[in-house]
Copies of this chain bind each other. A is one copy, B any other.
C-alpha cells in the first residue's frame, strides 16, 4: 500500500463515523488523497469482512451485511433502535421540505409534532438551521449528517424523487401554487 493509503486506512478505521474528503485531506495537507482513497477502497472491495462505504458525504468502514446477524447474536454490537413511524414521518417531511417550521410539519402530519421533533433534535437527526420570516420568526429545521448516516445515504440527492413515488403529486407547497 502507498503510505498515504495506509494513513487513510488507519484514520478511517479509527473514526467511528464517516470522514469527509475534506477531513481526510487535512491528514496530508497539500496532497491529492484521491488515488490513495481509491486504493483503500479497491482493497476492501474484495475479499474482506468490512468495506469502505460512501455515506453521509464522507467515507466509512462498515461491516458487510452478511455478518450482521452473527455479530449481533454474539452481542458484540447492537443494531440501532428502530425509529417510530411518527419519527419517520416527521423526518420524511423535514428531509423534503427543509428548512421547515414546526407548524408546517404539524399541518402535514395532522398531529402535534413538537415532542417528536424534540426527540429527533436530541438524537441529532435534525437541527435548527435558521429562522423563518413572519410572525414570531419561527425556528426552521433541517436534517443533519447523522440523518444521512443512519439511512446509509450518500447525500440528500439519494432520497427518492417525489416524481418517482407511486403517488405522484405536484409539489404541494401552497406558496408555490399560482394564484
Interface SS majority for chain A: mixed
Interface residues on A, range: 35 or more
A50 contacts across to B, CB distance below 8 A: 9-10, 13
Q: Is the CB of A7 within 8 A of B76?
A: no
Q: Is the CB of B10 within 8 A of A84?
A: no
CB of A166 within 8 Å of the partner chain: no
> Please, which residue of chain B has its CB at the minimum distance from the CB of A146?
B79
**Measured between C-beta atoms, what is the minimum distance from A163 to chain B in Å?**
21
Which residues 55-72 in A have Cβ within 8 Å of B in the complex?
Answer: 61, 63-64, 67-68, 70-71
CB of A162 within 8 Å of the partner chain: no
Interface string of A107-148 (1 = CB under 8 A from B): 000110000000000000001111100001101000000000
